[in-house]
Amino acid sequence: MNILLKRIFDRLVRTGNLKVTGPKGLSVIFGDGSGDLVHMHIKTAHAERAITFDPMLAVPEAYMDGELDILEGGVLGVMRIAFQNMGSGGIDATWSKAIEGLRHAFRRLQQINTAARARRNVQRHYDLSGDLYRLFLDEDMQYSCAYFEQPDMTLDEAQAAKKRHIAAKLRLKAGQTVLDIGSGWGGLGIYLAKSFDVDVQGVTLSTEQHGVATDRAHAQGLENRVHFEVRDYRELNERFDRIVSVGMFEHVGVNHYRTFFDKSATLLKPDGVMLLHTIGRSGAPWATSAFIRKYIFPGGYIPSLSEVMPAIEKSGLIVTDIEILRLHYAETLRHWSERFAANRDRAKAIYDERFCRMWEFYLGASEAAFRWQDLVIFQIQIAKKNDTLPMSRDYMAKCEKALEMRDMGHRPKAPAAKPSRRRKVADTE
């Protein structure tokens, strides 16, 4: 191991138990020995040099290319040690901090998501084979954070709970119109239409997702109530009673936040309600992970509340409720990682080994970021008028409970029959 890389590990790994084997077979242990052993093998001199210069990008790239193996602890273990030992600003090495600082400074240039560029960015990730996503998502193909009301929930149960949680905040009534911005494979829109007898229009930039969503709506006889189309939300002119957007805002780009909320204000009726569900940062603004931006979500950006709120205020919209979901996405990603690992051979048959290693790193590093860095979920409820929604949040819990009872197949008990005056009737309940 070269001297500079050893210095980086010495300065970074103060706690934990990290063993690093270099290209020549020599191993060095870093940290205070606490916790489970994580063993990383840097197999080539090329990877060693790259990691020395830009570790946050070079480690995942070396792993993808087979130039770095994780012999014990997995991707999650490596990233746990990294994140627990460094702040959100990155690795404490002069050249590495300079690189991360430049990424932060130029983050706005990387997020100039015009309509054409946004479409290309979305298609690069979401137009991957639907067969891939079926290997690790729940049955309803919800590709966003689940809601674990109980820690022992299955992934399918938690994703169903997420849909109830969002629906309750929309305060829907039969006959209303709903716009779903970033409608994915259609699961949420179909759920809202079936549960509340509303008309849903979903827009997506992914042709793959649009095809699946449309087929699902037709299969359930909802083609007259749910309509999906490949369209940029900026092209819409209709007005809606409700707007919901789940997992799409991360692709808008900080330069376009004002456009997003100004357009939402135009599309929302005077008594309308909007629910925005997005990944966010609990800390200060920072650049998107270089690995995620380059290989997973080009043009993507995770905002802090300080970047979102001014755009909402300037649009004339009113924030009526904010909920921060902590660790729910970490649990979601844990389920996804386990499912992907169980189906890895099938994923490799669709793509190749390099893709599988990239996807493993994406899922593992993302889980680590939600567990040990500052990533959370923002659920921001928005309205046009101050008196559109009740003063307390009680209505949310009541709606969620009613939806849960219905989804579980329960019905309210009928009143017990009064006993006959002639003879006592045995209690049969």
CB 239 within 8 A of CB 269: yes
- The answer as to whether 262 is a domain residue is yes
Mean pLDDT of all residues in 56-78: 97
- The answer as to whether 413 is a domain residue is no
- ∠ CA 323-325-331 to the nearest 5 degrees? 165
pLDDT at 156: 98
Residues 239 and 362 in one domain: yes
Q: Whole-prediction pTM value?
A: 0.88
CB 1 within 8 A of CB 22: yes
Q: Which residue has the tokens 């305060």?
A: 171
**Domain boundary, last residue among 105, 123, 139:** 105
Higher pLDDT, 103 or 54: 54
Distance CA 10, CA 349 (A): 40
Q: In what order do the strands lie in the sheet with 226-230?
A: 226-230, 199-204, 177-181, 240-246, 268-281, 375-383, 318-325
Count CB atoms within 10 A of the CB of residue 164: 22
Two structure tokens written together for 29: 């242990």
| Average pLDDT of the chain to the nearest whole number | 90
State the pairing for strand pair 27-30/38-42.
unpaired
Higher pLDDT, 299 or 89: 299
Residues 45 and 187 in one domain: no
Residues 140 and 283 in one domain: yes
pLDDT at 87: 62
Q: Which residue has the tokens 């037709």?
A: 218
Q: Residue 405 — very low, low, confident or very high, per pLDDT cuts 50/70/90?
A: very high
- The answer as to whether 412 is a domain residue is no
CATH of the domain at 78: 3.30.1050
Count CB atoms within 10 A of the CB of residue 410: 9
Count CB atoms within 10 A of the CB of residue 362: 23
CB 302 within 8 A of CB 254: no
Residues 101 and 117 in one domain: no
Residues 302 and 365 in one domain: yes
Distance CA 338, CA 176 (A): 39
Q: Residue 427 — very low, low, confident or very high, per pLDDT cuts 50/70/90?
A: very low
CB 183 within 8 A of CB 156: no
- The answer as to whether 234 is a domain residue is yes
- The answer as to whether 360 is a domain residue is yes
Residues 125 and 175 in one domain: yes
Residues 26 and 157 in one domain: no
Residue 138 three-state SS: coil
Residues 126 and 95 in one domain: no
168 φ, ψ (degrees, to nearest 5): -65, -35
Mean pLDDT of all residues in 400-423: 64
Diameter of the chain by CA atoms? 96
Distance CA 248, CA 298 (A): 13
- The answer as to whether 429 is a domain residue is no
**Domain boundary, last residue among 81, 105, 129:** 105
Residues 73 and 206 in one domain: no
Q: What is the DSSP letter of 84?
A: H
Residues 134 and 175 in one domain: yes
Residues 97 and 179 in one domain: no
Residues 45 and 168 in one domain: no
Distance CA 5, CA 13 (A): 12
Of 227, 234, 242, 136, the closest CA to residue 179 belongs to: 242
- ∠ CA 274-280-285 to the nearest 5 degrees? 125
pLDDT at 1: 86
State the pairing for strand pair 226-230/240-246.
unpaired
**Domain boundary, last residue among 52, 81, 105:** 105
CB 252 within 8 A of CB 110: no
Q: Is the sign of the CA dihedral 191, 194, 198, 204 positive or negative?
A: positive
Amino acid at 23: P
How many structural domains does the chain have?
2
pLDDT per residue over 196-237, tens digit each?
Answer: 999 999 999 999 999 999 999 999 999 999 999 999 999 999
pLDDT per residue over 102-146, tens digit each?
Answer: 445 555 555 555 666 556 655 556 667 789 999 999 999 999 999
Q: Is residue 79's pLDDT more than 90?
A: yes
Of 184, 233, 190, 239, the closest CA to residue 212 belongs to: 184
- The answer as to whether 319 is a domain residue is yes
CB 242 within 8 A of CB 231: no
Q: How far is residue 271 from each of residues 215, 243, 268, 311, measured CA to CA in Å?
A: 32, 12, 8, 20
Distance CA 187, CA 184 (A): 8
Mean pLDDT of all residues in 333-337: 99
Proportion of the chain above pLDDT 70, given as a percent: 86
Q: Which residue has the tokens 């899922």?
A: 363
- The answer as to whether 358 is a domain residue is yes
pLDDT at 105: 52
* Domain span including residue 169: 113-407
CATH of the domain at 370: 3.40.50.150
Burial 237-265 (b: 16+ CB within 10 A, else e): eeebbbbbbbbbbbbbbbbbbebbbbbbb
